[in-house]
A and B are shown apart, each in its own frame.
Chain A
């Protein structure tokens, strides 16, 4: 279970301030697949970063009673100057997992072959997505935070993700920020819509998607 209570996030630059999220209350139960909807800049990534502990809320509290992945997205989590293998080694070390296991899983899941010996900054966004998913699936979390990145893969990758994430790990929770209503309808069982800094949750995904499309 993840509980967010009265989360507020404000960014300040010089004297300019911007309120991104206001009094967000949210609970994510084990196994729940929550879709995060909202227009560009609505605060989806910010909320995911707060839940992932990457950034700190201006006020409010987050309690994590299950293990939460780092936000899987286009930025962050990797060090561009290191190779895929070095990144895997780093992650194995800080999450205390045997490197051999992680390495084998990454090689099999990503199918990147010799590219794993190249710096991550030379990867395409699809290749990064493969590596990010492989590493987080190899570590095993109770809740996966996915920021857009699920869309960039090719057919083969999407199929693999589907099997690994939605079939083999159907018991895990997930928060998925995406603009693809198709993927959301297919894979989520609850939805939240962020509009004007306020988050509203809906038990019906279709209802939330309809509201989102009307924005």
Chain B
């Protein structure tokens, strides 16, 4: 039976969706089990992180800063950063850790990365929505002025995280040195993750360099989506799009290369 290219693509797509679905369920079961709240734990960690940091900031910085609620500012900053840090750290050695899954030919190494990333993203977004909803009830979180922009910012932030994961996963199989440097690198990247400050608070001379970071651009979009006209933001939507595309492509090429030499136990 000969299939046309389009049919082959459709069959392949259908298989990959099924595999990623199965991998995500497996990830949830192995990480969180079926006891007590089960898979809801995926949002527990970002949630706890967001709540505690927000409380700390509230004590250290007072109720508002530059006209924004400090609690909301901390929450909107920290939860995406948790996605970034987890997304990156969970992609290290992901192929060798999961090598027994590669016994099944339909499981591709990209599925491993995607499944983990999607679980992290779902956790981060659930925590974000949950916390925002609770804080809104207490008047600590504004009703988003532009939901579309907020979601677009989130998606771009996530896309860039995924692009990084696509590069780091194969690199970590090629070099063990990288593994040692990763935690400190993600830590150093925090200032350019858009977490602590808005571009508007930064001296104009430095601001242009600050805006090179795709994370900052995406974060500015998210915050504009929440606070709307009450704040000034600087962003270029093409920066995270291009950065994600270019880095993602490099990542895909590296994955392909690493698969050829991957030793499976």
Contact = CB atoms under 8 A, between A and B. Distances in A.
B103 A71 contact: yes
A77 B263 contact: no
B262 A56 contact: yes
B26 to A, nearest CB: 6
Interface in B77-110: 99-107
B19 interface: yes
A43 to B, nearest CB: 14
Interface in A74-125: 75-82, 86, 90-91, 93-96
Contacts of B18: 93-94, 96
Contact of A94 (B22, B100, B264, B265): B22
Contacts of A38: none
Contacts of A71: 103
A129 to B, nearest CB: 15
Contacts of A49: 264
A86 B21 contact: no
Given A77-B104, A94-B19, A55 B26 contact: no
A68 B105 CA distance: 9
B4 interface: no
Nearest to A81: B30
Nearest to A77: B103
B36 interface: no
A183 interface: no
Contacts of B104: 70, 77, 91, 94-95
A78 B26 CA distance: 12
Given A54-B264, A56-B262, A76 B22 contact: no
B100 A82 contact: no
Contact of B107 (A12, A56, A94): A94
B180 interface: no
Given A52-B103, A82-B30, A90 B263 contact: no
Contacts of A91: 104
Contact of B265 (A11, A76, A86): A76
Contacts of B103: 52, 54, 70-71, 76-77
A31 to B, nearest CB: 21
Given A53-B105, A55-B262, A79 B22 contact: no
Determine which residue in B102, B259, B260 has the highest number of CB atoms from chain A within 10 A of its CB, and name it: B102
Contacts of B25: 90, 93
B261 A12 contact: yes
B249 to A, nearest CB: 21
Interface string B233-265: 000000000000000000000000001111111
A146 B101 CA distance: 17
A94 B107 CA distance: 8
Given A86-B26, A93-B21, A96-B18, A79 B101 contact: yes
Interface string B94-135: 000001111111110000000000000000000000000000
Given A53-B105, A56-B259, A90-B22, A76 B30 contact: no
12 contacts: A52-B105, A53-B105, A54-B103, A55-B263, A58-B260, A75-B265, A76-B102, A79-B30, A86-B26, A91-B104, A93-B21, A95-B106
Interface of B: 18-19, 21-22, 25-26, 29-30, 99-107, 259-265
